[in-house]
Each structure stands twice: as C-alpha cells, then as structure tokens.
C-alpha cells in the first residue's frame, strides 16, 4: 500500500485515478486546484515536507485550448511550471512521477501514426505549454513516465463526446471538422494505466522510465467521431430527433488555436514495454453518454 499524491484529482482523469487507487487499497492525497496550486513551488514543497509521499500522478492541466491563446501565462503556469515543481520535489524525495501530456506535440507536418522519437512541434499555446512541461520533467526528475494521450473523454468533466450530445439535443445539424484525425482515449483505461505504472515504478528494479504514447484505437477524424457518438446516443434513446453531421474544414470553423491535422499515435512502444493493451474507445462511449 502506497500513499499517492494525485494532482488534478477533480478532473475527468484525476477523479478516475483517485477512485482506482482507493479500490486497489492505496492511500490518496486528492489535490484539486483549491487545495494545491502546483504552479506555486512553495505549496508543492510544503506538501512534500509535511507528508511522506510514495508516488505522484499528475493529472492537472490547463486544457481550454482556444482560451489559452489569450491566457498564455495561466496555461504556462499550470502546464509547464507545475510539472517542473513536481519533478523537482519528486527527485528530492526520490519517488516516481507519472504525468499526462498531449498529442498536440505532434503538430510537425508529419503523417501519423506518430512515434515518440519524432522531432516535435506545436503551433498553439496549449501545445507549447504542455511541451515545456515535458521538457521540465525530463530535466528535473529521474524517475518519471510521461504518457502522451489524445482526445480524452469520460463520464466526468468536459469533453468532445459530451459536447456532441449536448449540441445534438438542441440542433438538427452539426458542423464538425473533417481534417483533424486522431485517437479518442477513454479516461478510465488511461487512469488504470497511470495507476498500474505508478505501482510498477515503486519497484526498485523498474527501469522503463521515459515518454510513451497512450491512446485508444482505432484512429478517426473529428467529423466521423461525432457521427459515431450521435449514432450511439440515438441507440440509447438519448436523442428524440435525427441529427445530421456535416463536414467542414478547420480553416472554415474558425477556432482560435491551431490544432494538429494528424495527431494519430503509435502505441507500440507502450504495449511492448509494459505488456499492456490499449482500449477500443467505442466500448466506452455508452458509459460516457449515459452519465453525461
């Protein structure tokens, strides 16, 4: 049994991580922004000084991609400085850190499925701040696993699946971009992977530190993803009318932040290193929709 600090414990991944840790018999310090501001180094150091923590799972993130274009300092504080301070504290305490990053680091004009060894690039503030977070962890911590996840959805928090259901209930037609392709990732198995990795990293013989892609399969474009979501919603009798999904291009959608056109990821490194499967995201849609 370990004492695990979960940052971002009220979010869609952090809340699942918290629940899974308790189910597996661990003790948890469930830290939301109201109880621990990871962008304040003195707050991070204080909690490490007052408690003997065995491992950290960082699910905290600024994820408002378009708003980040106007709130760069806030996004940087949470996505870059927060991981930096956690990494330093983990190194000082000689404990492992599991951190969730993003597929947005693969906005590099290369076609997917992307692999971890590629040259990285990102053209939006959100992606840049997450990339700084990765950099700071690798520079300041010895025992870390970073999981690059994509298009996360689950019953808790805000996500694309819930948004499509909400909009579908109010409209007869939705316009969704068709030139963004990636991998939807259910929050539950991602959270289970985070917990399992933290448990394995507590073993003194663990050697597989580093960065790994983690996502659901198969890949799909945003427009088709929306169609699948609404098809499932109709079968669950969550919609009382037919909703047409029309494809548009991202340049016509007018989003403020530039998103990757192709952020499909290869999970071969993750699955072969840890002998763990990645999920079929379609198997998790109904739980999210029925609890939305």
What pLDDT, in 10s, does the model give residues 148-203? 999 999 999 999 999 999 999 999 999 999 999 999 999 999 999 999 999 999 99
Provide the pLDDT confidence category of residue 84 given band limits of 50, 70 and 90: very high
The 3-state secondary structure of the chain reads CCEEEEECCCCCCHHHHHHHHHHCCCEEEEECCCCCCCCCHHHHHHHHHHCCCCEEEECCCCCCCCHHHCCHHHHHHHHHHHHHHHHHHHHHHCCCEEEEEEHHHECCCCCCCECCCCCCECCCHHHHHHHHHHHHHHHHCCCEEEEEECCEECCCCCCHHHHHHHHHHHCCEEEEECCCEECCEEHHHHHHHHHHHHHHHCCCCCCCCEEEECCCECCEEHHHHHHHHHHHHHHCCCCCCCCEEEEECHHHHCCCCCCCCECCECCHHHHHHHCCCCCEHHHHHHHHHHCC
Catalytic residue among 126, 144, 212, 214: 126
Question: What confidence score (pLDDT) does residue 19 get?
Answer: 98
Band of pLDDT at residue 140, cut at 50, 70 and 90? very high
Please compute the mean of the pLDDT values over residues 30-44 and round it to a whole number. 96
In this predicted structure, the answer to whether residue 292 has a pLDDT above a threshold of 90 is no
What is the band of 71 on the pLDDT scale with cuts at 50, 70, 90? Answer: very high
Structure confidence at residue 8 (pLDDT): 97
The class of domain 3-159+184-218+263-280 in CATH terms is: alpha beta
Does residue 72 register a pLDDT over 90?
A: yes
| Angle at the Cα of 154 from the Cα atoms of 22 and 201, rounded to 5 degrees | 45
Q: What is the mean pLDDT of residues 251-276?
A: 96
Question: Model confidence at 107, in pLDDT bands (50, 70, 90)?
Answer: very high
Would you kindly state where each structural domain of the chain is located, as residue ranges? 3-159+184-218+263-280
- Active-site residue, 126 included: yes
pTM check: above 0.95:
yes
Contacts of 176 (CB under 8 A, 6+ apart): 164, 222, 223, 225, 226, 245, 246, 247, 248
Average pLDDT, the chain: 97
User: In percent, how much of the chain has pLDDT > 70?
Assistant: 100
């Amino acid at each position: 049994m370990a004492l695990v600090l979960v940052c971002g414990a009220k979010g869609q991944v952090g809340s699942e991580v918290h629940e899974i840790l308790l189910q597996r018999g661990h003790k948890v310090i469930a830290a939301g922004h109201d109880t621990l501001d990871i962008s304040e180094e003195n707050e991070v150091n204080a909690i490490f000084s007052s408690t003997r923590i065995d491992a950290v799972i960082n699910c905290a993130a600024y994820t408002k991609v378009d708003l980040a274009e106007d709130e760069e300092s806030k996004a940087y504080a949470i996505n870059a400085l927060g991981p930096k301070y956690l990494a330093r504290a983990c190194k000082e305490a000689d404990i492992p850190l599991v951190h969730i990053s993003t597929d947005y680091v693969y906005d590099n004009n290369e076609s997917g499925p992307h692999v971890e060894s590629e040259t990285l690039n990102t053209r939006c503030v959100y992606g840049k701040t997450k990339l700084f977070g990765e950099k700071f962890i690798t520079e300041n911590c010895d025992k870390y696993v970073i999981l690059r996840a994509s298009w996360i959805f689950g019953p808790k928090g805000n996500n694309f699946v819930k948004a499509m259901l909400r909009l579908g209930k109010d409209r007869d037609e939705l316009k969704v971009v068709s030139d963004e392709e990636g991998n939807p990732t259910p929050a539950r198995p991602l959270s289970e992977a985070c917990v399992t990795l933290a448990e394995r990293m507590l073993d003194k013989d663990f050697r597989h530190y580093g960065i790994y892609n983690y996502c659901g399969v198969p890949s799909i474009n945003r427009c088709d993803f929306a169609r699948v979501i609404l098809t499932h919603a109709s079968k669950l009798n969550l919609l009382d009318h037919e909703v047409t999904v029309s494809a548009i291009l991202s340049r016509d959608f007018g989003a403020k932040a530039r998103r990757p056109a192709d952020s499909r990821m290869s999970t071969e490194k993750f699955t072969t290193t840890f002998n763990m499967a990645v999920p079929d995201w379609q198997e998790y849609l109904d739980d999210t929709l029925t609890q939305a």
